[in-house]
Amino acid sequence: MNMLPRQILAVSLLNLATLRSRSGSSAVVLTGIAGVVFVLTALFAMANGLRETLQSSGEEDRVLLLGKGSRSEINGSISRDQAAIIAGLPGIAASRLPGTTPVPLLSAELYATANLPRRNQPGRAGLPLRGVGAAAFGVRPEVRMTNGRDLLPGRFEIIVGEAAARMFAGLEMGATISLKGVDFLVVGHFTAGGRATESEAWLDVNVMANVFKRGAWLNTIRLRLESPESLDMLTTAIMTDRRLANSVFRESDFYNEQSESSTRLMTIVGVTVGIIMAIGAIATALNSLYSAVSARTREIAILRAIGFSATPIVVSVLVESLVLSFIGGLLGAALGWLVFDGLSMTSMGAAYSQVAFRFAVEPELVLSGVLLALFIGFLGGLLPALRAARISVVEGLRSAA
Amino acid sequence: MNWFVLLSAGLWRRPGRTLLTTLSLASAFLLVGLLFPILLLFENRGDSTGITRLIVQPRHSITDFLPINHAVTIQGVPGVRSVSHQTWFGGTFRDGTDSFARWAVPADSYFPMHPEMILSSAALDAFARLRTAAIVGQKTADRFGLKVGDRLTIVPDIWPNKEATAWEFELVGIFDASDNNVDLTAMYLNHAYFDEYRAWGAGLVSYINVGLESGGSAGDISTTIDARFANSADETTTSSERDFALGFAEQLGDIGLMISVILGAVLFTIALVTANTVAHGMRERMAEFAVLRAMGFQKLTTQLLVTGEALALVLLGALPGLLISAVLVELGQEYVPQLAGIDIGPQTLTASVVLVLVVALLAVLQPALRLKRLHIVDELRKL
Amino acid sequence: MAEVLVDVQHVVKRYRRGPHVINVLNELNVQVLRQDFVAFMGPSGSGKSTLLNLIGGLDRPDQGRVVFDGKDITGFTDRQLTAWRAEYVGFVFQSYNLMPALSAEQNVALPLLLTPLGSSQIRQRAQTALEIVGLADRGSHRPTELSGGQEQRVAIARALVSDPQLLICDEPTGGLDRSTADDILSLLDLLNRELGKTIVMVTHDPRAAGFAGRIMHMDKGLLMESDHPEPDQAYTGARR
């Protein structure tokens, strides 16, 4: 019995050595599996990239307040009065400049989208526009100007996130874009570390209220909590004040939800395509390995006649299948990484606006790809392996080499 | 005995191999049948043949509105037969799960313009007469167990009610559809009632619907409409309903790129699998072909035979694959109305035929060469 | 009608293996008369199969001529030669070479695809051929369901079905047991005597002498003496 591992090793190596005579079929299995892994790597890298961008955009210690019953920043149903009341509630972090009274880190904002032409694609897409005040940067420490300067209040100016500037045509420094028939000058670009915020463009909130005829209504209030745990305190205060009726979201939760719905479709497509391609790959592998076993009939019969038991034969076939699929999977994942990792794309973010993200081919994705390849190889090799075991010595010796 | 029998003999010599190849090819063609029409949909954007309705939307943002007066101007554009409008109502129904679209529409003009919505005349009358009337599609009615006469309460988000915390409606009808493009989950309510009681935004609508006279050019009329409002405070973008829907789909991402990637990998696999199976079969059957040549079959005949086999092999996989994809699309349209408009039309069929021919011909290149060089005596000697 | 059906004149056939060139057939002359039943016998490498291939039009000599019924087939193009074989020759091989995916009747009918016959006529002819070889009831069986002897008989039926003048048999009884081999040989004999088929056979089977009308021995590409010489036979061969 302790001969068994040696037998297995010997037969498997013998099998792999004869692989070259089956190079055509082997190549097809390899390519088929590489193809599946390549496509799935692309699709899931897309979903991952979008999810990462959206998820990293939300902070645990930031809160998003929307109008009552709202789930999207599109709905402008917060009044300025409400904003003033909220500013006085407990749990909100305050900026402490020496020698001044602390100012609550709260930004009352407007939100809209503007359909602008895309830079590298035909058609138009939604650029998220945010009407902000001075507090916007304070609430969002991750946002920094990279070019030009910040907005001056009351001016028809706009600052653009780097990702937005890449996505849309006509958002370079010094360019003018027309919103609602009014020209706005691009005076600066900002970065937000790859977060969704970088896909936005900001205007002065009062100017926007005027031009977009919003009256005294706001879309969102964003504020920084003293600590992530302060959320409960704040929420209770809002619920108990009858003048307020707002929906309260921890920013990280809000974006997590966004990312789920956006990536769900991608995941469904990925899984569907993956299953269909995997079935094809399994059929190809079965075909190839049945042929391989058939070609090796005489050789297997000789081995059995010599005295090898069935187990090493079976294992050798599985080894062939697994080796081919492993290489195929690795190839597909590597190709996917080479082609897609870091590729920029935009997709639907919140509220019919576009968010820019990069494809993310993570190590876990590569591992999943290889595991899938091995799974396909196992399924494709199992039946042929069992058939190899059933080759009768007499018949096999009689068959042509 | 005929040529067809001889051809089949080649295929069924190893039935297992043929069937497995068929499975590989079928799965590949399944993806072709699913994805190629979607690709075409995006490629065929702007195609204005057979368009009977347009949608006019605010140019700059999905969150914008159009003044209802635009409809009057549009009515005066030559080629326009009728106008209507719809406004996104939003809000939350019950606990907000299983949400569906809710629109405020004018009773007199909206339904005549959308004859594919099947509604009883009693329901239509009730909708016009009763201000708080609402109708829902069959799917939503089924999902929530709604019957005519039920009260529907919607908690507003965008449109607070001037006089109440929620909007109350009475269900007067359930509509069905005569084609796949209709959203059978949607709810329609009376615009007049909505306009009177909304806390803000009187006179604002989300979209203006335009019905066209036959024989007009949809493209030209769209351009004219947009020109009328250019440089005003409320500019418009007019497009066919299909392009309007595509606009949403495009937001999902560079779908064209991803589909091309998948299709590329799939096509490559198809070619490789076919070529390999055909080549494999050839290798095993050289002696058979030598015998055929000895019997008096010409060289060209054997090459044509192999070509025929390759074609049959690919078709064996292509036909079921495409068929299943057609069925899946039909089923998918049940659940995802946005998929309407995707079917396997003449372009996809032509592309498939070309694909089958190209793949089969590529696969027989090397075998045909081997047959050309086949030396009867040498092959027979090997036996 | 001329007596000589196949006239092999001064044929040379060379075989190259690397730098070496071997003369498999060296200025060989032989004649096969109409309705002959000739068996070529000899050790391996004697060139008998090569000669068979030349007579059957499967190969061309490097020098010399092969004349069939007055027509020189040596100069035929591949296309002409192929068409000629279809009309005039039927082949029987040692390993039967039936198509495994076709039934016996379908295998037999194969050569008829090259004729303008309709499918019912094809069917009829194939049935007749099967009757001649005694397998009329096995038409629907696949080759794997037949014994070796039965397979060879199907092959013979196939060789017969388009009514060729010449039957070329390469080791037709190789691999068959004694009594089956005898059955095959007597069948060939029957075809020769009753249907007037000219049969040229290559064989190792010593019992072939009992069935064939003429035996020719070959060695190293040369013809040896023949057994059962017929007085009016016209042949020339290099004598040892």
**pLDDT tens digit sequence for B120-172:** 989 999 999 999 999 999 988 988 999 999 999 998 878 888 888 889 999 99
**CA–CA gap between residue B258 and residue B39 (Å, rounded):** 10
Interface contact B298-C79, CB threshold 8 A: yes
Residue A195: predicted pLDDT = 86
Sign of the alpha-carbon torsion through A374, A377, A379, A383: negative
List residues bridging with C139 in a β-sheet. none
**CA–CA gap between residue A161 and residue B36 (Å, rounded):** 35
> Which residue type sits at A58?
G
Closest C-alpha among B319, B321, B341 to residue B332: B341
Higher pLDDT, B208 or B233: B208
- Buried/exposed A311-327: b ≥16 CB within 10 Å, e otherwise: ebbbbbbbbbbbbbbbb
Assess whether pLDDT exceeds 80 at residue A98.
no
Picking from C58, C106, C123, the nearest residue to B376 by CB comes out as C58
C116: which 2 tokens?
A: 């303008």
Residue A18: predicted pLDDT = 84
Question: Which residues have C-beta within 8 Å of that of residue B114, sequence separation ≥ 6?
Answer: B182
Average pLDDT in the B223-251 region? 83
Interface contact C83-B296, CB threshold 8 A: yes
Q: Name residue, tokens 């000058």.
A: A185
**CA–CA gap between residue A107 and residue B337 (Å, rounded):** 39
Residue of B nearest to C167 (CA): B295
**CA–CA gap between residue A169 and residue B346 (Å, rounded):** 36
Q: Are A166 and A173 in contact (CB under 8 A)?
A: no
> Which residue type sits at A387?
R
B contact test, residue of C93, C115, C130, C140 with most B CBs within 10 A: C93
Q: Does B254 touch chain A (CB under 8 A)?
A: yes
Residue of A nearest to B246 (CA): A123
**CA–CA gap between residue A286 and residue A291 (Å, rounded):** 8
C contact test, residue of B4, B13, B291 with most C CBs within 10 A: B291
DSSP states of B92-122: EETTS-S---EEEE-HHHHHHH-TTEE--HH
Picking from A28, A35, A345, the nearest residue to B253 by CB comes out as A345
Give Cα B118 distance to the centre of its chain.
22
**CA–CA gap between residue B281 and residue B277 (Å, rounded):** 6
Assess whether pLDDT exceeds 80 at residue A259.
no
Interface contact B253-A347, CB threshold 8 A: yes
Q: Are A92 and A227 in contact (CB under 8 A)?
A: no
Q: At A15, is the pLDDT very low, low, confident or very high (cuts 50, 70, 90)?
A: confident
What 8-state DSSP symbol labels residue B160?
-
pTM of the prediction? 0.81
Over the stretch B324-348, which tens digit does the pLDDT of each residue have?
Answer: 998 888 777 766 655 556 677 788 8
**CA–CA gap between residue A132 and residue A111 (Å, rounded):** 9
Interface contact B1-C114, CB threshold 8 A: no
* Alpha-carbon distance values, B365 to B279, B307, B360, B371, C148 (Å): 9, 9, 9, 10, 36
- Which residues does chain A have within 8 Å of residue B280's beta carbon, measured at their own beta carbons? 24-25, 291
Interface contact B10-C82, CB threshold 8 A: no
Q: State the nearest Cα–Cα gap between B122 and chain A, in angstroms.
A: 34
Question: Which residues have C-beta within 8 Å of that of residue A145, sequence separation ≥ 6?
Answer: A159, A188, A189, A190
Q: In percent, how much of chain A has pLDDT > 70?
A: 98
- Which residues does chain B have within 8 Å of residue C100's beta carbon, measured at their own beta carbons? 13
ipTM of the complex: 0.89
Q: Does C59 touch chain B (CB under 8 A)?
A: yes
B53: which 2 tokens?
A: 């309705």
**CA–CA gap between residue B304 and residue A233 (Å, rounded):** 82
Residue of A nearest to B263 (CA): A39
Q: At B41, is the pLDDT very low, low, confident or very high (cuts 50, 70, 90)?
A: confident
Assess whether pLDDT exceeds 70 at residue B244.
yes
Q: Does B379 touch chain C (CB under 8 A)?
A: no
Interface contact B232-A126, CB threshold 8 A: no
Most confident listed range (A82-86, A341-345, B168-172): B168-172
Residue of B nearest to A354 (CA): B251
Picking from C99, C112, C113, the nearest residue to B288 by CB comes out as C99
Q: Are A214 and A367 in contact (CB under 8 A)?
A: no
Residue C234: predicted pLDDT = 37
Q: State the nearest Cα–Cα gap between C100 and chain B, in angstroms.
A: 7
Output the average pLDDT for chain B: 88
Q: How many CB atoms lie within 10 A of CB A81?
A: 11
Residue of B nearest to C113 (CA): B2
User: Beta A106-117 vs A182-191: how paired, if at all?
Assistant: unpaired
- Which residues does chain B have within 8 Å of residue A336's beta carbon, measured at their own beta carbons? none
Question: Which residues have C-beta within 8 Å of that of residue A113, sequence separation ≥ 6?
Answer: A74, A126, A127, A128, A129, A351, A352, A353, B61, B62, B63
- Which residues does chain B have within 8 Å of residue A266's beta carbon, measured at their own beta carbons? 253
Higher pLDDT, A207 or A115: A207
Interface contact C101-B288, CB threshold 8 A: no
> Which residue type sits at A265?
L
- Which residues does chain C have within 8 Å of residue B19's beta carbon, measured at their own beta carbons? none
Average pLDDT in the A186-208 region? 92
Cβ contacts below 8 Å, chain A against chain B, sum to 153
Average pLDDT in the B194-201 region? 88
Q: At A392, is the pLDDT very low, low, confident or very high (cuts 50, 70, 90)?
A: confident
Picking from B294, B298, B381, the nearest residue to C91 by CB comes out as B294
* Alpha-carbon distance values, A194 to A200, B219, C87, C96 (Å): 11, 40, 80, 74
Query: What subunits make at least 3 CB pairs under 8 angstroms with A?
Result: B
Q: Does B67 touch chain A (CB under 8 A)?
A: no
**CA–CA gap between residue A400 and residue A381 (Å, rounded):** 23
Q: Name residue, tokens 């057609």.
A: B326
Taking CA C49 as the corner, what is the angle to CA C43 and CA C51, rounded to the nearest 5 degrees? 115
Picking from C58, C78, C106, the nearest residue to B294 by CB comes out as C58
Picking from C53, C78, C112, the nearest residue to B1 by CB comes out as C112
Q: At A82, is the pLDDT very low, low, confident or very high (cuts 50, 70, 90)?
A: confident
Over the stretch A266-315, which tens digit does the pLDDT of each residue have?
Answer: 888 889 899 999 999 999 999 989 988 888 888 888 888 888 888 888 99
Residue C238: predicted pLDDT = 32
Query: Which residues of A, range 43-62, sit inside 8 Å of B by Cβ?
Result: 43, 46
Q: In percent, how much of chain A has pLDDT > 90?
A: 35
Q: State the nearest Cα–Cα gap between B107 and chain A, in angstroms.
A: 26
Query: Which residues of A, range 61-100, sit inside 8 Å of B by Cβ?
Result: 67-71, 74-77
Q: Does C53 touch chain B (CB under 8 A)?
A: yes
Q: State the nearest Cα–Cα gap between C232 and chain B, in angstroms.
A: 33
Picking from B287, B298, B381, the nearest residue to C82 by CB comes out as B298
Q: Are A139 and A61 in contact (CB under 8 A)?
A: no
Average pLDDT in the A383-395 region? 88
Closest C-alpha among B139, B135, B134 to residue B167: B134
**CA–CA gap between residue C198 and residue C195 (Å, rounded):** 9
Output the average pLDDT for chain A: 87
The lowest-confidence range among A11-20, A391-400, B203-212, C178-187 is: A391-400
Do you know the residue count of chain C? 240
Q: Are B51 and C139 in contact (CB under 8 A)?
A: no
Closest C-alpha among B347, B342, B349, B341 to residue B323: B349
B contact test, residue of A22, A65, A184, A291 with most B CBs within 10 A: A291
Q: State the nearest Cα–Cα gap between A176 and chain B, in angstroms.
A: 15
Q: Are B199 and B95 in contact (CB under 8 A)?
A: no
Residue C230: predicted pLDDT = 43
Q: State the nearest Cα–Cα gap between C51 and chain B, in angstroms.
A: 12
Residue of B nearest to C127 (CA): B1
- Which residues does chain B have within 8 Å of residue C126's beta carbon, measured at their own beta carbons? 1
Assess whether pLDDT exceeds 60 at residue B8.
yes
Average pLDDT in the A116-139 region? 85
List residues bridging with C9 in a β-sheet. C65
Helix H or strand E segment including A104: strand A103-104
List per-residue pLDDT tens for chain C, 240 residues long: 568 999 999 999 998 888 888 888 888 899 999 999 999 998 887 888 899 999 999 999 999 999 999 999 999 999 999 999 999 999 999 888 999 999 999 999 999 999 999 989 999 999 999 999 999 999 999 999 999 999 999 999 999 999 999 999 999 998 899 999 999 999 999 999 999 999 999 998 888 877 888 888 888 777 775 555 443 333 433 332
B abuts A (3+ Cβ pairs < 8 Å): yes
Do you know the residue count of chain B? 383
Q: State the nearest Cα–Cα gap between A347 and chain B, in angstroms.
A: 4
List residues bridging with C72 in a β-sheet. C67
- Buried/exposed C31-62: b ≥16 CB within 10 Å, e otherwise: bbbebbbbbbbbeeebbbbbbbbbbbbbbbbe
Query: Which residues of B, range 7-26, sit inside 8 Å of C by Cβ?
Result: 8-10, 12-13
B abuts C (3+ Cβ pairs < 8 Å): yes
Average pLDDT in the B247-271 region? 82
Q: At A67, is the pLDDT very low, low, confident or very high (cuts 50, 70, 90)?
A: confident
Q: Does A307 touch chain B (CB under 8 A)?
A: no
Assess whether pLDDT exceeds 70 at residue B375.
yes
A249: which 2 tokens?
A: 């979201």
Assess whether pLDDT exceeds 50 at residue A10.
yes
Q: Are A224 and A190 in contact (CB under 8 A)?
A: no
